[in-house]
């Protein structure tokens, strides 16, 4: 499962100035890696990947050593959040597709069938009748889902030869999600978020390979991460790129 939000096993908190900051602890399956890894997310969550045997006191001590960096990261994300406003589905807004930005252009024409297409660096919506933001949203989202369906199947077919543990073509479903980029059921069915099509191709490949690895390893064990590293050595960079833009890609 490629989560946007992580479900914690343990929780902790600390003060910085007058503010109390909460963090979630995830445990590695083994103690092969002793380093405590701290991640500050765009939605201001703080997650900590810690060795299985590390005490809560040891984890907190590692956090406090980086408390200034954590606080500065939170401030940076808060400043970015100020520029993210709800979509109005009006001309001139910026929309993403495969990591590139496109300006929305609305074209009102009499007796025309509603259509959405990329043209000359713009996302053009042609329609007849009066402007209706809800209808514009519906057409744009349908376009994203259609493009996602085509692209995800293409990328899945391209990536499958890397995954010799997968037999046959996995069932792929497109499903809007608010907290996940993708998921994999125990039966091997893969679900992908249509909003992921807004990200660069390398990020899409990362999520697909992540879910394909779950067919062999149904958790985030060290074996899982080794398998993912084998098929995509630079997955960390692609994940970081996706995490950085998550709030913008998910802004409807």
Above 60 in pLDDT, residue 99? Answer: yes
Residue pointed to by tokens 């959040």: 81
Predicted pLDDT of residue 234: 95
Rounded CA separation 182/176 (Å):
10
Summarised one tens digit per residue, pLDDT across range 101-127 is: 899 999 998 888 999 999 888 999 999
The 3-state DSSP composition of the chain as helix, strand, coil percent (nearest 5) reads 40, 25, 35
Regarding whether 140 and 63 lie in a shared domain, the answer is: no
Regarding whether 157 and 45 lie in a shared domain, the answer is: no
Summarised one tens digit per residue, pLDDT across range 156-182 is: 999 999 999 999 899 999 998 877 899
Q: Cβ-count burial of 78 within 10 angstroms (0-12 exposed, 13-18 middle, 19+ buried)?
A: exposed
Contact by Cβ (8 Å): 59, 12: yes
Above 80 in pLDDT, residue 4? Answer: no
Give residue 26's domain range.
Answer: 7-81
Check residues 252 and 22 and name the one with the higher pLDDT. Answer: 22
Among the listed residues 73, 58, 72, 3, the one whose alpha carbon sits nearest the alpha carbon of residue 27 = 58
Distance of CA 73 to the CA centre of its chain: 19
Work out the angle at residue 204's Cα, subtended by the Cα atoms of residues 121 and 215, and round it to the nearest 5 degrees. 160
Regarding whether 219 and 100 lie in a shared domain, the answer is: yes
Tokens of 37: 């890894």
Distance of CA 106 to the CA centre of its chain: 28
Regarding whether 62 and 102 lie in a shared domain, the answer is: no
Q: Which of 54, 81, 108 is the last residue of a domain?
A: 81
Rounded CA separation 183/170 (Å):
12
Summarised one tens digit per residue, pLDDT across range 46-57 is: 999 888 888 888
Rg (CA), the chain: 21
Regarding whether 219 and 114 lie in a shared domain, the answer is: yes
Confidence of residue 252 (pLDDT cuts 50, 70, 90): low
Above 90 in pLDDT, residue 153? Answer: yes
Cβ atoms < 10 Å from Cβ of 11: 10
Check residues 98 and 180 and name the one with the higher pLDDT. Answer: 98
Regarding whether 138 and 69 lie in a shared domain, the answer is: no
Above 50 in pLDDT, residue 8? Answer: no
Above 60 in pLDDT, residue 218? Answer: yes
Predicted pLDDT of residue 31: 66
Contact by Cβ (8 Å): 192, 205: no
Above 50 in pLDDT, residue 7? Answer: no
Q: List the beta bridge partners of residue 3.
A: 180
Regarding whether 117 and 76 lie in a shared domain, the answer is: no
Cβ atoms < 10 Å from Cβ of 99: 17
Contact by Cβ (8 Å): 148, 197: yes
Predicted pLDDT of residue 44: 82
- Coil, strand or helix: which one is 82? coil
């Amino acid at each position: 499962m490629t989560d946007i939000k992580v479900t914690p096993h343990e929780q902790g908190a600390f003060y910085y100035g007058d503010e109390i900051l909460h963090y979630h602890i995830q445990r590695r399956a083994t103690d092969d890696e002793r380093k405590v890894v701290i991640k500050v997310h765009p939605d201001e969550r703080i997650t900590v990947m810690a060795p299985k045997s590390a005490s809560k006191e040891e984890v907190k001590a590692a956090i406090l050593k980086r408390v200034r960096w954590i606080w500065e990261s939170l401030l940076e994300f808060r400043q970015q959040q100020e520029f993210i406003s709800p979509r109005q589905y009006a001309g001139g807004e910026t929309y993403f597709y495969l990591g590139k930005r496109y300006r929305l252009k609305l074209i009102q024409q009499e007796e025309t069938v509603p259509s959405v297409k990329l043209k000359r660096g713009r996302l053009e919506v042609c329609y007849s009748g009066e402007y209706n933001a809800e209808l514009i949203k519906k057409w744009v989202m349908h376009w994203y889902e259609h493009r996602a369906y085509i692209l995800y199947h293409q990328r899945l077919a391209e990536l499958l030869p890397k995954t010799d543990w997968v037999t046959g073509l996995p069932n792929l479903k497109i499903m809007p999600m608010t907290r996940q980029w993708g998921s994999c059921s125990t039966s091997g069915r893969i679900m992908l978020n249509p909003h992921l099509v807004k990200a660069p191709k390398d990020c899409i490949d990362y999520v697909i390979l992540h879910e394909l690895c779950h067919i062999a390893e149904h958790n985030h064990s060290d074996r899982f991460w080794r398998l993912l590293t084998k098929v995509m050595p630079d997955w960390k960079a692609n994940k970081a790129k996706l995490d950085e833009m998550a709030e913008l890609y998910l802004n409807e």
